[in-house]
């Protein structure tokens, strides 16, 4: 077995061609195998999403063009009557459209300074601990924590304490302020974390470069820090806003359920009055609104930060 003969074979034209064909074949084989593996790995997640997200969504879409059965539920039909009926819930839509952006904005105003402090000012060894402190409340159910606020803001909570020092008849619970407070409390981590991540990634030398070029700390913040953290801001903002579009727990518990939101309307329609088609039409509309919000947020942050791609989580 001399090596000379082997290399001689490779050098003949025929040998070369067959070697090339073989390489192409094995490459295709590897390609197929790789695809198969990818498919296998993706199968559980795909199945899950199809069964629990896509199919229910299709069902809701079908319901929304149907009719309410006389005894409640769904009856097959094809009509846009449910959509035409949407103005009947205009107040709920209006309240939601007010609550979602205002709540997200409140979270942003409170959350940005916290994220800024954590990413750029907090001592390195405290950072993880502080981050953990922000996330830990998530380990308890939002329902329980909101109930806690009910007591804190209720007659035997803060107002009772204030009564000791002479401030009487202060109503906190069942006010718009209480709802806003509950929302900021519940959704703040969702705002802080994405902003923190984008500020943490920020190249500190850019801040030095800005100062070096004569920018005061304020213009450095506006021109560099804020601009480059906008993807995080937009992620946090749209995340909170979309979740708030479906929120009904906090307004019910802390707002006394006097103000109606889409979330309340949905619960009411599906569980109480059993008007599934109308509820479905509202749900579909809500999804469309969410998508529009996402697209707009994405556009804005892409344009302002100069980033080519915005990661939404």
Partner 1 sequence: MTAVPDIEFRAVTKRYGAVTAVSGIDLAIPPAAFVALLGPSGCGKTTCLRMIGGFEQPSEGQVLIRGRDMAGTPPYRRPVNMVFQQYALFPHLDVEENISYGLRQARPRLSPREISLKAGEALAMVQLAGYGRRKIHELSGGQQQRVALARALVNKPAVLLLDEPLAALDKKLRTDMQIELQNLQREIGITFVLVTHDQEEALSMSDFVCVMNGGRVVQIGQPSEIYDEPADLFVADFVGKTNLLSGKVAGLSGDLVDVALADGTVISARKRVPLSRGEAVSVSLRPESLSLSAPGGGGLKGIVRNRIFLGSTAEYAIEVQGIGSLLTKADHVTGRGNLFEPGEPVAIGFAAGAPLAFPHPKNNGTNQREDQHVKILS
**Residues in contact with partner 1 by the rule CB under 8 A:** 203, 205-206, 208-216, 219, 223-224, 227-228, 304-308
CA distance 290 to 274: 25
Nearer to partner 1, 59 or 213 (CB): 213
Q: How far is the CB of 198 from partner 1 (least distance, A)?
A: 12
- Report the chain's terminal Cα–Cα distance, integer Å: 60
* Nearest residue (CB) to partner 1, 203 versus 311: 203
Q: How far is the CB of 229 from partner 1 (least distance, A)?
A: 11
What is residue 77's three-state secondary structure?
coil
Is residue 297 within 8 A of residue 238, CB to CB? The reply is yes
Least distance to partner 1 from the beta carbon of 219, Å? Answer: 6
- Helix, strand or coil, per DSSP, at residue 203: coil
In the complex, what is the shortest distance from the CB of residue 112 to partner 1, in angstroms, rounded to a whole number? 18
Q: Which is nearer to partner 1, 96 or 305 (CB)?
A: 305
Nearer to partner 1, 71 or 212 (CB): 212
Q: Between the CA atoms of 50, 55, 56 and 62, what dihedral angle is there, to the nearest 10 degrees? A: 160
Find out whether 297 and 234 touch, Cβ atoms under 8 Å. Answer: yes
* 62 vs 304, beta carbon nearer partner 1: 304
Report whether 145 contacts 153 (CB < 8 A).
Answer: no
Strand partners, 68: 74
Nearer to partner 1, 40 or 218 (CB): 218
Work out whether strand 67-68 and strand 74-75 pair parallel, antiparallel, or are unpaired: antiparallel
What's the min distance (Å) between Cβ of 197 and partner 1? 16
**Minimum CB–partner distance for residue 294 and partner 1 (Å):** 21
| Residue (213 or 292) nearer to partner 1, CB | 213
According to the 3-state scheme, what is the secondary structure of 39-71? Answer: HHHHHHHHHHHHHHHHHHHHHHHHHHCCEECCC
111: nearest Cα among 189, 54, 51, 49: 189
Beta bridge partner(s), residue 67: 75
Query: In the bound complex, what is the minimum distance in angstroms from residue 303's beta carbon to partner 1?
Result: 10
């Amino acid at each position: 077995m001399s090596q000379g003969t082997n290399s001689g074979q490779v050098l003949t034209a025929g040998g070369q061609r067959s070697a090339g064909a073989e390489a192409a074949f094995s490459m295709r084989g590897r390609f197929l195998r790789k695809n198969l593996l990818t498919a296998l790995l993706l199968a559980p997640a795909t199945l899950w999403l199809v069964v629990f997200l896509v199919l229910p969504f299709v069902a809701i879409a079908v319901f929304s063009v149907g009719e309410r059965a006389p005894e409640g539920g769904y009856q097959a039909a094809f009509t846009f009557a449910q959509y035409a009926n949407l103005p009947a819930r205009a107040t709920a839509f209006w309240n939601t459209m007010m609550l979602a952006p205002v709540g997200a904005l409140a979270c942003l105003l409170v959350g940005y300074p916290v994220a800024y402090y954590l990413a750029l000012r907090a001592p390195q060894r405290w950072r993880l601990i502080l981050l953990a402190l922000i996330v830990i409340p998530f380990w308890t159910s939002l329902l329980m924590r909101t109930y806690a606020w009910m007591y804190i803001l209720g007659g035997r909570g803060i107002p009772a304490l204030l009564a000791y020092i002479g401030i009487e008849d202060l109503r906190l619970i069942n006010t718009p302020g209480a709802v806003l407070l509950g929302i900021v409390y519940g959704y703040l981590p969702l705002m802080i974390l994405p902003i923190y991540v984008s500020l943490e990634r920020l190249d500190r030398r850019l801040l030095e470069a800005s100062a070096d070029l004569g920018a005061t700390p304020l213009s450095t913040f506006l021109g560099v820090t804020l601009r480059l953290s906008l993807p995080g801001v937009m992620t946090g903002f749209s995340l909170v806003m979309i979740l708030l579009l479906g929120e009904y727990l906090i307004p019910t518990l802390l707002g006394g359920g006097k103000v109606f939101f889409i979330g309340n309307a949905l619960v009411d329609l599906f569980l109480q009055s059993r008007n599934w088609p109308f509820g479905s039409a509202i749900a579909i509309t809500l999804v469309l609104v969410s998508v529009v919000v996402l697209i707009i947020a994405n556009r804005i942050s892409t344009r302002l930060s100069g980033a080519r791609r915005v990661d939404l989580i």
